Structures are given as structure tokens and as C-alpha cells.
Amino acid sequence: MAGANQTCIFCQILHDPNSTTRLLHTDEKVVAFQDIKPAARRHYLVIPKEHIPTVRDLQRRDEDYSLAVSHMLSVGQELLQKDAPQTIHRFGFHQPPFNSVDHLHLHCFALPFMPRYTNILHTLLSHALKLQKYDFLFLSHIVIKTDGKSSSTCLWDLSVVLLKHRNFWRR
């Protein structure tokens, strides 16, 4: 498992030929599969084949991370458009320490969210992804801005986004 972390469950899915996880998409850079605990009608994860622990590690890399994130987003959009074309889609990354697996993964949701009153992380996640005024999709310092047809990725401070959404926590 060159370039993989042997204790990482996502690396095991990628490199174990006996894995029972059904891959929905695979190419030279990423794979996609269904989340084992779906928080929405459709809930997919898109992960890079290279082991990148978190969003913060992605930002520390020399190469342009926006290409990797944009590719992950386009794969997620393609999957949801195929499986749930008539629903609202939301995408986001976890900001450490709120990530459950230390392998970068993009959450791809086809709404509605499934209520989970026992898990505060999912409650916070669903509130964070309801931003619609500017259609900013984020769970980290990486923000993916979409206009419905194209997307761009930029580095942006979370506090700036929250200031633009004064009613963020009142939803």
C-alpha cells in the first residue's frame, strides 16, 4: 500500500481487493462510494486515492489544491445528477477536529437530510449546509462557490462567510 496509511479505513477500501465497499466511481485520482451512515436521501463520499489526512494538509501542499477539490466536486455533482437529478445538492468537507476519518473526503448530499437528533455533529452539519443565499458550500476553510453551472474554489476564512449570513444559526 504505497502512499497509503495502513490504519486508514479509506485507504483500506482503496487498496484491499477483498473490500466489500461498492465503488460508484473510480478514476486515476479519486474514488466515490456511499456513506455507511447516510445523513441524506443520497450521501456519497468522494476521496482522493492519495492519502491526504485533512483539509489543512491539502492546503499545506505545494501543488494547486483547487484542481483536486474541483475534480472531487465534479465527480460528486455527476453522481448526484445521475442518481437524484430533481433534488437540491449540497457538498462539504469537515474541518478538524470534526472529521471522523483522517482521510480527506467530500460529502455529497441529495436533500432532504435525515434527522439525527442524537448526533450533534450531523445537526451542525445540516445547519452549515443550508446556506442558500450565496450558495456557499463549506465545512472548512475551503469554500466551493457554485452558480449552478460552474464552480470555483478559493481559500476563505470561515468567519467572513458567517458574517455574511447573520441569520445562519437561526435557521
34 in Cβ contact with 43 (< 8 Å)? yes
Residue 43: active-site member: no
Candidates 43, 107, 122, 141; catalytic one: 107
DSSP string covering 33-74: EE-SS-SEEEEEEEEESS----HHHHHTSSS-HHHHHHHHHH
List residues bridging with 26 in a β-sheet. 31
Distance CA 143, CA 146 (A): 10
Angle at 99 between CA 79 and CA 8, to 5 degrees: 80
Active site residues: 107
